[in-house]
Amino acid sequence: MIYTLTLNPSVDYMVGLTEVNIGGLNRTESEAKFPGGKGINVSRLLRSLGVNSKATGFLGGFTGIYVKEYLEEEGIDTAFIKVDEDTRINIKLKAKEETEINGQGPNITDEHLQSLKGQIRQLTNEDILVLAGSIPSRLPETIYEDLVKICSETGAAFVVDAEGSILKSVLPYGPFLIKPNHHELGQFFEREITTSDEAVFYGKKLVELGAKNVIVSLAGEGAVFINEQSAYISTVPKGELKSSVGAGDSMVAGFLSSFLSGKEVKEAFRYSVASGSATAFSIGLGSKEKAEELLPQVQIREA
């Protein structure tokens, strides 16, 4: 079973405007809301790709009820731990450029944290845990490391989509998959990464540091895949960017769904890129139909 963990879920409030008038009154031209948070996006796209998963993390208040009910209506199993304060609302503004304002999220007590650890201890070597997204400020910065340590004891595989020091802390435990974007990869190695070749070079270093499979996304410029045996560079399909929110999470879902259905990593990578672009070309997440429509446009070559 795939489990997704979102420590700080959200309601994503997506607003479309031609122009933003800072300091003035703005009225939206389009708006939509969705359950958000990186692990939750992975669960939602997996569902759309026909793969079951169970979503966990912390939810609270009226926004928490909205997220839980939305997921359950989509047929996603949930095991969230209830907290007292409201789940955050994240604002995603799409004008000429994309601007995001992410909330801080609710308070999480030690008791909540112990409940979560108890859940993770139940996973077995037949399970995969996807840990994705930022760590709420009230939780210890070592939380990802603490949880993947539990996974390495129980034999559960794990996937991590997180930045900087979090990523560094989990690499020695051998994540099955990590998916930094090129900015995050650059921050990790303290340099600017702009080309696929540079992404392959530094992605290989993440494999040396312990990751089993690495996908580096470069937004509209492509993506790369590296593991011990192979390195690939991919093009991305052409289309109108509607909102990139969740595009990276969709790559994780696309890779897992294809790989777990028995496909080779090269094909799973291709499906991952098509899934990412399906979301980039949608308001909200993409769909299986959209991903499969884009698949023929994804060209992969050896690096």
Ligand X SMILES: O=P(O)(O)OC[C@@]1(O)O[C@H](CO)[C@@H](O)[C@@H]1O
Ligand Y SMILES: Nc1ncnc2c1ncn2[C@@H]1O[C@H](COP(=O)(O)OP(=O)(O)OP(=O)(O)O)[C@@H](O)[C@H]1O
Give the shortest CB-250-to-ligand Y separation in angstroms.
7
Give the shortest CB-12-to-ligand Y separation in angstroms.
11
Contacts of 139 (CB under 8 A, 6+ apart): 7, 108, 113
- Which position among 57, 60, 133, 276 is part of the footprint of ligand X (CB under 6 A)? 133
Q: State the catalytic residue, choosing from 12, 127, 161, 249.
A: 249
41 binds ligand X (CB under 6 A): yes
The length of the chain in residues reads: 303
Contact positions with ligand X (CB under 6 A) in 206-225: none
Give the shortest CB-196-to-ligand Y separation in angstroms.
11
Give the shortest CB-292-to-ligand Y separation in angstroms.
14
- Mark whether 127 is an active-site residue: no
Residue 102 contact, options ligand X, ligand Y, none, Cβ 5-8 Å cut-off depending on partner type: ligand X
Distance CA 194, CA 257 (A): 28
Instruction: Give the binding site for ligand Y (CB under 6 A).
Output: 181, 217-220, 223, 236-237, 241, 244-249, 251, 273, 276-277, 280
Q: 169: number of CA atoms within 13 Å, CB side?
A: 17
- Structure tokens that stand for 12 in this block: 């994503």
By CB under 6 A, the count of residues binding ligand X is: 16
- Which position among 2, 4, 5, 12 is part of the footprint of ligand X (CB under 6 A)? 12
246 binds ligand X (CB under 6 A): yes
38 binds ligand X (CB under 6 A): yes
Contacts of 209 (CB under 8 A, 6+ apart): 168, 171, 172
Q: Which residue has the tokens 């604002």?
A: 91
Distance CA 257, CA 83 (A): 31
Q: Which residue has the tokens 């979102």?
A: 6
**Site for ligand X, rule CB under 6 A:** 8, 10, 12, 36-38, 41, 90, 100, 102, 133-134, 245-246, 248-249
Q: Where in the sequence numbering do the catalytic residues fall?
A: 249
